[in-house]
Structure 1
Amino acid sequence: MSDVLDFHLDDLGPANAESEYAEQQFWAGDLTVLAEHHTTPHGSHSYVVAHDGSVTWGVPGEPQIAAIKVARDLSLNTFTFELTYHANVAFAQNWLIERGCPPERIAQTGGDFMKPADELTVRIEQQIRESGTRYKVLDSQTSDSDPCETWTLTRDAGATHAPIRVFLEEGDFATHTYTMREGAFADDDAAQNWLADRSSPLPQPPEQRGEPAARRTRAALTRSTGSSATPKAGLDIQVAPPTGPAQRPSPGRSM
Structure 2
Amino acid sequence: MSDVLDLRLDDLVAADADSRQAQEAFWPQDLTVLAEHHSGPGRARSYVVAYDRSITWGVPGEPQIAAIKVARDLEQATFTLEMAYHATVPFAQNWLIAHGCPTQPITVLNRDVMQPADDLTMRVERQIRDSGTRYEVLGSWTSDFAPCEVWTLARDADSDQAPVRLFLKEGDFDTHSYTVREGAFPDEERARRWLDERSEPLPQPPEYRGEAAGQRARAALIRSAGASALPQSGLDARQTPSIARGQRPGSGRAL
> TM-score normalised to the size of structure 1?
0.82
Aligned residues of 1:35 and 1:110 also touching (Cα < 8 A): yes
Aligned residues of 2:151 and 2:169 also touching (Cα < 8 A): yes
Partner of 1:108: 108
Task: Give the aligned residue type for 2:4.
Answer: V
Moved more, 67-76 or 87-96: 67-76
For residues 69 and 185 of structure 2, the distance between their equivalents in structure 1, rounded to whole angstroms, comes to 33
Partner of 1:143: 143
Give, in angstroms, the shift of residue 108 of structure 1. 2.1
Partner of 2:161: 161
> TM-score normalised to the size of structure 2?
0.82
For residues 104 and 193 of structure 2, the distance between their equivalents in structure 1, rounded to whole angstroms, comes to 37
Q: Relative to structure 1, is the Cα distance of residues 38 and 221 closer, same or farther in structure 2, using a 3 angstrom cutoff?
A: farther
Partner of 2:22: 22
For residues 106 and 192 of structure 2, the distance between their equivalents in structure 1, rounded to whole angstroms, comes to 31
Give, in angstroms, the shift of residue 5 of structure 1. 2.2
Q: Give me the CA root mean square deviation.
A: 2.1
Uncovered stretches (5+) of structure 1, i.e. residues with no partner: 226-255
Task: Give the aligned residue type for 2:180.
Answer: M
For residues 46 and 11 of structure 2, the distance between their equivalents in structure 1, rounded to whole angstroms, comes to 16
For residues 128 and 168 of structure 1, the distance between their equivalents in structure 2, rounded to whole angstroms, comes to 12
Aligned residues of 1:70 and 1:80 also touching (Cα < 8 A): yes
Partner of 2:36: 36
Deviations 1:40-70 (A, max 9, x none): 5942210000111110011110000010000
Task: Give the aligned residue type for 1:136.
Answer: E
Q: Relative to structure 1, is the Cα distance of residues 61 and 219 closer, same or farther in structure 2, using a 3 angstrom cutoff?
A: same
Partner of 1:124: 124
Q: Relative to structure 1, is the Cα distance of residues 196 and 79 closer, same or farther in structure 2, using a 3 angstrom cutoff?
A: same
For residues 3 and 128 of structure 1, the distance between their equivalents in structure 2, rounded to whole angstroms, comes to 25
Give, in angstroms, the shift of residue 170 of structure 1. 0.5
Task: Give the aligned residue type for 1:95.
Answer: W
* Local SS of the residue matching 2:212: helix
Aligned residues of 1:8 and 1:42 also touching (Cα < 8 A): no
Task: Give the aligned residue type for 2:133.
Answer: T
Moved more, 69-78 or 84-93: 69-78
Partner of 1:240: none
Structure number with bigger Rg: 2
Partner of 1:88: 88
Q: Does 1:183 align with 2:172?
A: no
Q: Does 1:66 align with 2:66?
A: yes
Structure with the bigger RCO (C-alpha within 8 Å, sep 6+) is 1
Deviations 1:94-146 (A, max 9, x none): 00000000000101211312111111100100000000011000100000112
Partner of 2:233: none
Q: Relative to structure 1, is the Cα distance of residues 216 and 45 closer, same or farther in structure 2, using a 3 angstrom cutoff?
A: farther
Give, in angstroms, the shift of residue 222 of structure 1. 8.5
Moved more, 22-31 or 44-53: 22-31
Uncovered stretches (5+) of structure 2, i.e. residues with no partner: 227-255
Deviations 1:176-229 (A, max 9, x none): 21110111111110011001111111110001113235346667888989xxxx
Task: Give the aligned residue type for 1:141.
Answer: W
For residues 67 and 221 of structure 2, the distance between their equivalents in structure 1, rounded to whole angstroms, comes to 42
How many pairs align?
A: 224
Partner of 2:197: 197
Q: Relative to structure 1, is the Cα distance of residues 218 and 173 closer, same or farther in structure 2, using a 3 angstrom cutoff?
A: farther
For residues 62 and 75 of structure 2, the distance between their equivalents in structure 1, rounded to whole angstroms, comes to 38
Partner of 2:5: 5
Identity of aligned residues (%): 64
